[in-house]
């Protein structure tokens, strides 16, 4: 243990599985206390049991990031429990079956935007209220995607939200990072083995054709713990001069 996050308080959304669980586990190992947030209570319990058997380093809060009241409660519980919040990891997200514009329904569009973009915006807005009052400011890490860098790494709603999350990240960095002490960076994972892939159950034919054309079906596979290592770097003082960056972690897929 290097204690890179000793004394830090973090919120991780989507902590009930996948990258969120691995990020939370690594943060705890590095000395942080973590508010585990997820819509799935069973996933939360499992994460807490696996990474913090004694219950000393984590707390849990059931959170649907599509609901503003849940986001406000998530941050309030963090402040009530730990008196501050140093790090927000906006990790929760969903995919859209790689649907193209003509096959995208209003319901799916609205849901993907609410979870992938509006939720992170509202979470950032809520924590910034407290971070502005803290001497050391704070640190916001947003989970983007290679889908936010290109046009054919996902469906239209997913792609739009991941481009949007990069814009959100850079705007926070250019304002609060420059004129206050609140850093904001994003991670753009490629093909990572998580439960989110299991929700692709009705892929769009044209969307899949476009994905296949750029090697999407043979993209290098990564593990959630590899993304957690990137998150740790961004959360720690090792990246103190990194602000407004998008770190691509895709095994070289987009370099081809």
Whether pLDDT at 165 is above 80: yes
Residue percentage of the chain with pLDDT more than 90: 86
Collapse the DSSP code of 93 into the 3-class scheme (helix H, G, I; strand E, B; otherwise coil) and give the result. Answer: coil
Give mean pLDDT, residues 100-114: 97
Which residues, other chains included, contact 90 with Cβ-Cβ below 8 Å and sequence gap of 6+? 13, 65, 119, 120, 123, 124, 140, 141, 142, 143, 165
**Residue 158 annotated among the catalytic residues of the structure:** yes
Collapse the DSSP code of 51 into the 3-class scheme (helix H, G, I; strand E, B; otherwise coil) and give the result. Answer: helix
Query: What pLDDT score was predicted for residue 193?
Result: 86
Catalytic residue among 82, 130, 158, 176: 158
Query: What pLDDT score was predicted for residue 25?
Result: 98
Domains and their CATH numbers in the chain: 9-255 (3.40.50.720)
pLDDT in tens, 180-218: 999 999 999 999 987 656 667 778 888 788 878 887 767
pTM comes to 0.94
């Amino acid at each position: 243990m290097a204690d890179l996050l000793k004394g830090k308080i973090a919120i991780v959304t989507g902590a009930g599985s996948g990258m969120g669980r691995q990020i939370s586990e690594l943060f705890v190992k590095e000395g942080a206390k973590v508010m585990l947030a997820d819509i799935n209570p069973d996933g939360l319990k499992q994460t807490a049991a696996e990474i913090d058997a004694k219950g000393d380093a984590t707390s849990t809060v059931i959170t649907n990031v599509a609901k503003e009241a849940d986001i406000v409660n998530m941050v309030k519980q963090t402040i009530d429990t730990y008196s501050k919040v140093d790090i927000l990891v906006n990790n929760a997200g969903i995919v859209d079956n790689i649907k193209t514009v003509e096959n995208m329904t209003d319901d799916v569009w609205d849901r993907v935007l609410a979870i992938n973009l509006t939720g992170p915006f509202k979470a950032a807005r809520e924590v910034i209220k407290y971070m502005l009052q803290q001497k050391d400011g704070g640190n916001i890490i947003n989970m983007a995607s290679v889908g936010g860098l290109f046009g054919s790494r996902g469906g239209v709603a997913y792609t739009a939200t991941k481009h949007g999350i990069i814009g959100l990240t850079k705007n926070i960095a250019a304002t609060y990072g420059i004129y206050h002490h609140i850093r904001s960076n994003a991670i753009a994972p490629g093909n990572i083995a998580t439960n989110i892939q299991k929700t692709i159950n009705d892929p769009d034919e044209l969307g899949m054709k476009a994905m296949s054309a750029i090697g999407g079906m043979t993209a290098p596979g990564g593990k959630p713990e590899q993304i957690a290592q990137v998150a740790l770097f961004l959360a720690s003082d090792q990246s103190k001069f990194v602000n407004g960056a998008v770190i691509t972690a895709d095994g070289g897929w987009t370099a081809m």
